[in-house]
Amino acid sequence: MTQQQYQQCIDACLECMNACNVCYISSLKEYDLAMLRDCIRVNRECADICAFAAQAMTRGSEFIGEICELCVKACEACAAVCGKHEHDHCQACAEACRKCAEACRLMAAVA
């Protein structure tokens, strides 16, 4: 694993974390909060897990593989929930989650 590959995964995690946070805040401002309840909940979980994964890779944790596997699961769940909504912030979040899941899947395979 090269430093560039680590950095690409870290960047994907941080971009996903930011997209989840934007979606979370934007969803709270929407009129129909009940419809977005699951989206809001999973945004928080995914953002936290992405941040944790980025931190683990930055410090060279021996658990990178397992943490990235968890990040894949969180990102896939978040993409599935956000992808159901037409809001721009939800669609952007779903796309960032799919990209992060792919980067973390590759990282988990080689870590």
Cβ neighbours of residue 57 closer than 8 Å, sequence gap 6 or more: 6, 9, 10, 13, 64, 68, 107
Name the helix (H) or strand (E) containing 86: none
pLDDT band for position 93 (cuts 50, 70, 90): very high
pLDDT at 5 over 90: no
Q: pLDDT tens digits, residue range 27-75?
A: 999 888 889 999 999 999 999 999 999 999 999 999 999 999 999 999 9
pTM score, whole prediction: 0.95
Domains of the chain plus CATH, in order, are 3-109 (1.20.1270.360)
CA-to-CA distance for 111 and 6, rounded, in angstroms? Answer: 10
CA-to-CA distance for 31 and 104, rounded, in angstroms? Answer: 34
